[in-house]
Amino acid sequence: MSALRALLLSVSAIAALYAMRSSTPGYGDITAPIAVRGAVGERVESRDFAFGAANVHLARQVRVESFGRIKEYSTSGIWLIIEGAAVAKTETMTLTSAEWLAGNGLRYELSQRFSTVPGYLPTERLEPGLPRPVLLAFELPEAAVDKGTLLVARSLVMPLAEELWITLGDKQPTDIKPSVTIARGSSGTPWTLAAR
Amino acid sequence: MPVVQRSKIRQRLLIMLVTGIGGMAAAAVSFATAVYDAANPVPAVTAAKGEAIDTGRWRVTINDATMASVPPTGTKPFEPKRFLMVDIELDNRSVTTSNAFMNLIAIKDERVIASPKPVYYLARDKWIASAINPNMPEKLIAVWEWPADRPEPEKVSLSIGKQIYKPRDNLYGAPNWFDDGEAAVVELAVTQDTGSSEQ
């Protein structure tokens, strides 16, 4: 009888330990950035910076005009281009992390293929109180645009920092343009964007 | 019971003896297998050209290898150079965009390695590749600059590395991908490009 009791006790202890082990959040979950939710077309605020996405374009090809030469960037999916503005609040900073979280949980990082696009988010230095227009571009499979979320953070390696989660909402473009040309703007805006 | 019975002492002695001998035997067996494994390494798995290799994080297919004097950009270098170009298909099976494939493929050679790291080009754009997105298979060209003082190879062996996912690593308990040796070795015949595509 006492053997049976010992056996039952140890089995229940093992079960309790297993339940605790599998329900404990991992280091990645504990230190994940804190989401601040918003939508395209509105200013989304975090403690250190604010970001607002204004226009969203979809294109099959991106042409970048720089110093008289045109470089074409094709993709096996589609290009998602977002025009917006960002401002720092407390200190000079650069927003180095932008990701597209697709509906199925896959994460697409900001495309690193351009080298000379004016106003590209990770190359823009933001001064406190001076909003700057910024440009973002992602390469995605076509199905990843639906139910996707734009994640903008100061850095990927800052635990417990704030991250903006921006949904497209009703600003999701309906048509995919064959080609979008980005050129350096003459005055005012740092770039001009022409769809074809 | 003022004194422990003699039979009980004998029983305890026996238990100590059995556990002691058992533990020592287990340690000896584990040490011997470690020594044996180090002395007899498992031969690398060979994969054929054009066969998809599952490396955990990536699905890699190695296609043709060519020697050429023009890199994929089409711009002929100022000084004549030779390039070993290998066509690769890559599929990112992980959940995020990654450029970890750049450390995955190496030339397997007993002598010095031709060039420590190849430069990767996107096949469709003929331009330097960046990170590869999940769920978007891409065709790439890996380009090694071949040293001028070495004879051009007839065939080349490529070693494809493997990465495994740990939901909790040993240091922080953070989820990450870790290198885990070699997934396969691919042997390829190298064809000569006569340079018809020069500009």
- Give contacts of A 12-51 with B, CB under 8 A: 26-28, 31
Other residues' Cβ atoms within 10 Å of the Cβ of residue B53: 18
Smallest CA-to-CA distance from A63 within A192, A171, A155 is with A192
Looking at chain A, the whole-number percentage of residues with pLDDT higher than 90 is 66
pLDDT of residue B198: 43
pLDDT at residue A88, as a whole number = 95
- Partners of B135 on chain A (C-beta within 8 Å) are 106, 141, 144
Report the alpha-carbon distance of residue A27 to residue B167 in Å, rounded: 9
Q: Which one is predicted more confidently, B6 or A50?
A: A50
Q: pLDDT tens, A110-167? A: 998 887 788 899 999 999 999 999 999 999 999 999 889 999 999 988 888 999 999 9
Give the span between the Cα atoms of B12 and B19, in whole angstroms.
11
Please give the C-alpha separations between residue B1 and each of B4, B5, B9, B75, in angstroms, as whole numbers. Answer: 7, 9, 14, 97
B32 three-state secondary structure: helix
Q: Do B134 and A108 touch (CB under 8 A)?
A: yes
Give the pLDDT score at A187. Answer: 74
Which residues on A lie below 8 Å from B130 (Cβ)? 111-113
pTM of the model: 0.82
The answer, for A97 touching chain B at a CB cutoff of 8 Å, is no
CATH architecture assignment, domain B46-192: Sandwich (2.60)
Q: In chain B, which residues have their Cβ closer than 8 Å to the Cβ of A109?
A: 96-97, 131, 133
Q: DSSP E strands: which ranges in B37-192?
A: 46-47, 52-54, 58-68, 82-92, 105-107, 119-122, 127-128, 138-146, 155-166, 176-192
Chains A, B: CB pairs < 8 Å: 57
Taking alpha carbons only, the member of B131, B126, B152 closest to residue B141 is B126
Question: Are A26 and B174 in contact (CB < 8 Å)?
Answer: yes
Q: With an 8 Å Cβ cutoff, is A107 touching chain B?
A: yes
CATH for A34-195? 2.60.40.1240
Least Cα separation, residue A177 to chain B (angstroms): 19
Decide if A67 touches B, using CB distance below 8 A: no
Q: Domain limits of chain B?
A: 1-41, 46-192
Domain spans of chain A?
A: 34-195
Q: Under an 8 A CB cutoff, do A73 and B125 touch?
A: yes
